[in-house]
Amino acid sequence: HRGRLIANEIAPRVHNSGHWTIEGAVTSQFENHIRAITGLPLGSTQARGHSAMINLIGTLPPRADLLARPGVHLHDYRKDPRPDRKLGHITLIADSAARRDSGARALLRRIDRETWVSFR
């Protein structure tokens, strides 16, 4: 903003906002973190397509319906459900922004409003 850096957090570690890189980038944030701390060359962060990530909060939707959809990857953190707790996330990969957006909207219609918080 006007030549200034504005940040609300600096995290010298992998971060929840980058979980889309597991499927959505050539080298995930996790792999690049390990490469960095072990002195190995960093991998490409190039996107593999157009990604959306939906955080699953409080409850998990039925797996079979989600996993039957092309480009959908479900990450279940195996945590005990409770209100406002992040239990996992869904990553959707598509070959165009339009397909990503329509796919994400379709997923959101299948998920209870209380289950998702963020759509990136």
pLDDT in tens, 92-103: 999 999 999 999
Question: Which residues have a Cβ under 8 Å from the Cβ of 40 and sit 6 or more positions away?
Answer: 34
Lowest mean pLDDT among 9-18, 35-44, 90-99: 9-18
| Structure tokens that stand for 100 in this block | 């990503």
Q: Could you tell me the pLDDT band of residue 8, with boundaries at 50, 70 and 90?
A: confident
Per-residue pLDDT band for 119 (boundaries 50, 70, 90) equals very low
Task: Determine the topology of domain 16-119 in CATH.
Answer: D-amino Acid Aminotransferase; Chain A, domain 1 (3.30.470)
Question: What 3-state DSSP class applies to 115?
Answer: coil
Per residue in 59-82, pLDDT (tens digit) is 888 888 888 999 999 999 999 998
- Model pLDDT, residue 14: 87
Query: Distance from CA of residue 114 to its chain's centroid?
Result: 18
Which H helix or E strand runs over 36? helix 29-37
Query: How confident is the prediction for the chain on average, in pLDDT?
Result: 89
Tokens of 87: 């239990």
